[in-house]
Amino acid sequence: MIELQRQYAHPGWATLTTVSLAILGLLAWRMTSTLWFQRRADLRAHRDHLADLALVAEPGHQGVLNVDHEAAAIYCLPGNRRAGTHDTVVVTTGARAALTDAELDLVLRHEHAHLNSRHARLVARARALNRAFPRVGFFRVAHEQLALLAELQADDAVRADERRSLAGALYQLAIRNQRMLTANGLSATGSDVILRARRLMRPHEPLGRTAQTILATSILLLGATPVVLSLIPGGLSESHDCCSTAGVVAASEASGSGATSSPSPSGR
């Protein structure tokens, strides 16, 4: 403790500590403000989108809104208690024309899995962090991968014997949208649908309890390592130096007192 006080009493350490705290405060303000503004923007966009749907959509069963449009689109809108809205799934006539009733039911279960797991909140926060720190590639990759992982988890909402049917439904939606977008001169469907369809075509092999335990333990250890290292005193070598210095001082004092107490040869 004395050694730490001596180090931080130095003007250089005090300046470094002040600058570090200022940077941390700036980063915290940037992250908090971006999350708050992103939340308000999402709520406003959600409210405006529901208002537009109220003009053109026809209510269906289980909170489904039917929209007359040639695009094969099926997506979900999470509800908000403060805004007084409920979870909603939007289905276009183009999607109904591209899918059978069984395939449509699988895609609807996929969207309800998104709503039950609150994936929209997770992806929105990752997107906000990416906007708060646009030059940090980690947040951009994290946003992209979290969005993909949310889709993969929602795909797992179907039974093992229905995975191929869901893959076929995703393929049909992608093909129909690709034809329409290509005719309009826009970009075609992204490659994530192909990745998901290939994953669904493979046999579903969930992780066992042992693998889940090992993975969870590894994540906990990885997260706890920086905390544990921060609690270990950083000046271990300096403590040894202090002890050795004290030993040298004690030895010198002992030798000095011994020299004083010993009689001189002339006094004999």
pLDDT tens-digit profile of 94-115? Answer: 999 999 999 999 999 999 999 9
In a domain, 18, yes or no: no
112 inside domain: yes
Flag whether 265 is in a domain.
no
- The answer to whether 171 and 195 have CB atoms below 8 angstroms apart is no
Residues in the chain, how many?
A: 268
- Scanning the structure block, which residue is given the tokens 């969207």? 111
Instruction: Decide if 35 is inside a domain.
Output: yes
Residue 21 resides in a domain: no
Tally of structural domains, the chain: 1
86 — phi, psi (to 5°)?
Answer: -120, 165
pTM reported for the whole predicted model: 0.66
119-132 and 11-56 are packed helices; what angle lies between their axes, rounded to 10 degrees? Answer: 130
Could you give the CA distance from residue 165 to residue 82 in angstroms, rounded to a whole number? 38
Give the position of tokens 């002339």.
266
Which range marks the domain in which residue 179 is found?
Answer: 30-222
Averaged pLDDT of the chain = 76
End-to-end alpha carbon distance in the chain: 51
With a pLDDT cut of 70, the percent of the chain lying above it is 72
Q: pLDDT confidence of 211, banded at 50, 70, 90?
A: confident
> Does some domain include residue 248?
no
* Spatial separation of the C-alpha atoms in residues 146 and 122, rounded to whole Å: 8
- pLDDT 10s digits, 124-149: 888 888 888 888 889 899 999 998 99
